[in-house]
Structure 1
Amino acid sequence: MSHIATALVATTVTTALALPLTAPEPATARPGARSAPPAAAAVAAADRPYGPCALTGIQDLVSETAHTPRGYARSSGTVRAITLFVDFPDAPADGTVAERYGEFFPRASEFFRAASYGRLDYRATAHARWIRMSRPFAAYGIKRGTPFDPASDSGYYAVSKEILAAVDRDVDFSRYDVINVLAAPNAGPPATETVLSVTFGGGPLGLDTDDGVPFTNASFIWSRQTGDSAFRVLDHEVGHAFGLPDLYYTDGSGRPPAVGHWDPMDEDWGPNNDFLAWHKWKMGWLGADQVHCVPHAGTSTHTLTPTTTADGTKLIAVPLSGHRAITVEARDRGPVDAAVCRPGVLVATVDTTAAGGTGPVRVADATPGSAGCADGTPNVSPRLSDATYTAGQTFAADGVTVDVLGRDDAGRWRVRVTSER
């Protein structure tokens, strides 16, 4: 497990009202779930967003709304996942269940623990055998964008129905919050050609277990990714089960990335990358004093610690409306941000009316036109790799100005936020 350094900071408010705006929400257990040990129960008392910076917006899809709708898996405390393994008659598994499971665990769980500062204890359980599908892979019509359609005798509904028929007697799905389905990596096209991995979550899918438990918040992982942290495709998909949207453009337009390697909901390949501070707030990973909301006109000065550390202020949010906000955070190289090549202050715009795949978060580029600083790091889009603002630089847009005043020897960044709104 990665060690997370800690640092304490002070925040000075000079004119504008800058408030910590989160509040504790008691953990709730699913019916039939095993009780958590005392340490996990303490972690589950995570803070949830509220106040003028807790933006509202799309509710029927994964989006950047501060409050995740009911039906998605909880993203803090002890979250239990059942991991199932499938292969096909024309693509039998070429390895053991333990080998396939080992591609993802325990590293995926360790990543969540580190990124959440211990607030998420993701416990995966493996169903220790391959489940052979009844038909060849092609017969299910699995392609990118294939839906979960109960009216179809193919696609993900058919695959899931066969899974339940094979395991329903020996798996109590009421004990689990999330379902991970790992397909034999030789089934379907390689990930370098097309990405099939997908998550279906947010509510009932039209398929229940024999005990009436809805089959939902299920991620299907295909092929085998490359790089030293290929397990993160599972973390990306589980992020959808937690209610996070895709940050990359899904229309195939080839537009430059909106967020790049600053969040695994955009780029989940290559070296480790941490979640945006907005996502950490949304998922209940930040304490009440770690988010500063600036809802009124004026000027305030703040000290930010990088997201790779546990303590200190992690997010400044300036609401532009009930659906849009400017966010400010500090990023530095660390265990869950291995590719950061320009430590600094990351500024982004969050839009909760934009659906996933349409750019709901857009990072401001402090060095527009540059080739970036990623130095050819595999699977890292270089354009935004040097998007952070450093000492002496200023971001200004939508009546909001962020001046980066400097960085101290402990890696803390001091910023001045001026809002005219």
Structure 2
Amino acid sequence: LPTGPCALPGITDNVSEAAPTPAGFARAAGTVRALTLFIDFPDAPATLSPMARFGEFFPAATDYFRVSSYGRLTYVPKPLFRWLRMSRPLAAYGITRGATFDPASDRGYHALSREIVHAVDPYADFRDYDVVNVIMAPNAGPPATRSVLSVTFSGADLGLRTGRGAPFRNVSFIWSRQTGLSAFRVLNHENAHVFGLPDLYYTDDRAGRAPVGHWDPMDEDWGPSNDFLGWHKWKLGWLTPGQVHCAPAGQLPTEHDLTPVSTPGGAKIVVVPTGPHTAFVVEARASGLLDPLVCRPGVLVYHVATDVPSGRAPIRVVDATPHSRGCYADSRYVDPDLTDAPFRPGETFTDRTSGVTVTVLTENTDGTYRVRVTPATRRPSSPTAPAPPVPHP
């Protein structure tokens, strides 16, 4: 897990970019057991078997985590193959985008979860699992193309106990169906919240360019597959210490050979701190099993802010071609502007505020990229209090 001067503290009471991830979230390395439940409603009875619904996500979601983690995460779904019928019509629970987990209300996710816990208690002991997936009948609620209801409650104790006294926590609710290629990745996105990752997109639905685009599923998890950023792989415990290079402020320029994140082995990221909660991160991206859309392979540079809440763009990718429309201008599920964001050999990124520069020197014959990094000219000041958290759909 992240340690050293480039492991930046940040928000600790919600999902965030803080490294390492605070206690309370599910671990993302080793064997993770996911209790997987299937729910329907009197006015929206399931029209397919729970096995068929399960097959919409698995083994694809498991394989995705295995490949992205370089085999460090063994994700084991543990399905309870029966539809658990709730007692009231769906509308009675008041489930909308942004619905809360309020113990004082007879609506919302707390009310729904009370019934789920009661229904599951005879069949499963929640203490045996690290993660809970609640997968709804696909005909319950609006289509995902109209309103995305899938949501995760993670980290904090939700105040709900099972009959055996186990806490109901680190739970993802999966609604409807996403469309397009690799629609299963809504589960990978939601479970990444269980592991502590924030939303990278603006959750207030503001218009404008995506902060990260298709470079990480915490921004865009629709359409063709995409891999996690190297910073996220470090947070999740998928990188060894030798795969993370740190360039503290005030040091001399250094050179690094970076292996694309889609390829196992090799150095993966250079972290260049610019403040107590901020850094530029440098990594190589090239086409791979989880990254089929990399039309301009090269070196991706992005800014990380560990004190910026989920849903407020805690990561922003630097666009090496800001006047280009990108490579996939006609794709419905890909923000095209950033698809050609990586820097190519001979190009340099400069941040005038901090003095950080990143120059791509060469693309080596083995597919790695050699970069020269000039750290920030000023040492970071002491940390300040983190910003308040926001929900994470």
Matches within 5 A, 1:265-276: 265-276=218-229
Which of 21, 27, 44 is residue 74 of structure 1 equivalent to?
27
Structure 2 CA distance for aligned equivalents of residues 285 and 134 of structure 1: 42
Which residue pairs with 1:408 in the alignment? 364
Which of 320, 345, 348 is residue 394 of structure 1 equivalent to?
348
Structure 2 CA distance for aligned equivalents of residues 260 and 376 of structure 1: 15
Which residue pairs with 1:33 in the alignment? none
Amino acid corresponding to residue 304 of structure 1 in structure 2: L
Which of 304, 312, 324 is residue 266 of structure 2 equivalent to?
312
Q: In the alignment, does 2:188 pair up with 1:235?
A: yes
Q: Measure how far apart 1:322 and its partner are.
A: 1.5
Bigger mean CA deviation after superposition, 405-414 or 370-379:
370-379
Q: Measure how far apart 1:138 and its partner are.
A: 1.0
Structure 2 CA distance for aligned equivalents of residues 138 and 372 of structure 1: 42
CA contact (8 A) 2:326 2:339 kept: yes
Matches within 5 A, 1:79-228: 79-228=32-181
**Please, what TM-score do these two structures have when normalized by structure 2?**
0.94
Amino acid corresponding to residue 130 of structure 1 in structure 2: W
**Please, what TM-score do these two structures have when normalized by structure 1?**
0.88
* Structure 1 residue runs of 4 or more that deviate by more than 3 Å after TM superposition: none
Structure 2 CA distance for aligned equivalents of residues 369 and 193 of structure 1: 31
CA contact (8 A) 1:250 1:358 kept: yes
Amino acid corresponding to residue 261 of structure 2 in structure 1: T
Amino acid corresponding to residue 270 of structure 2 in structure 1: I
Q: In the alignment, does 2:203 pair up with 1:250?
A: yes
Structure 1 CA distance for aligned equivalents of residues 323 and 101 of structure 2: 41
Amino acid corresponding to residue 376 of structure 1 in structure 2: D
SS in 2 for 1:105: coil
Structure 1 CA distance for aligned equivalents of residues 332 and 28 of structure 2: 29
Q: Measure how far apart 1:409 and its partner are.
A: 2.3
Cα deviation, 1:224-246, whole Å, max 9, x if unaligned, reads: 01122001000000000000000
Q: Which has the higher contact order (CA 8 A, sep 6+)?
A: 1
CA contact (8 A) 1:52 1:322 kept: no
Which residue pairs with 2:336 in the alignment? 382
SS in 1 for 2:337: coil
Q: Measure how far apart 1:408 and its partner are.
A: 1.8
SS in 1 for 2:272: strand
Which residue pairs with 1:323 in the alignment? 277
SS in 2 for 1:117: coil
Structure 2 CA distance for aligned equivalents of residues 340 and 227 of structure 1: 18
Structure 2 CA distance for aligned equivalents of residues 185 and 85 of structure 1: 10
Q: Measure how far apart 1:375 and its partner are.
A: 4.8
Which residue pairs with 1:356 in the alignment? 310
Q: Measure how far apart 1:315 and its partner are.
A: 0.5
SS in 2 for 1:165: helix
Structure 1 CA distance for aligned equivalents of residues 294 and 177 of structure 2: 25
Which residue pairs with 2:327 in the alignment? 373
CA contact (8 A) 1:142 1:156 kept: yes
Cα deviation, 1:35-86, whole Å, max 9, x if unaligned, reads: xxxxxxxxxxxxx111110001111111100011111101111010000000
Cα deviation, 1:391-412, whole Å, max 9, x if unaligned, reads: 1111001210000112122211
Which residue pairs with 1:43 in the alignment? none
Matches within 5 A, 1:268-287: 268-287=221-240
Structure 2 CA distance for aligned equivalents of residues 377 and 305 of structure 1: 28
Structure 2 CA distance for aligned equivalents of residues 375 and 59 of structure 1: 38
Aligned residues: 374
Cα deviation, 1:129-186, whole Å, max 9, x if unaligned, reads: 0011111111111000000111111111111111111110110111100000000111
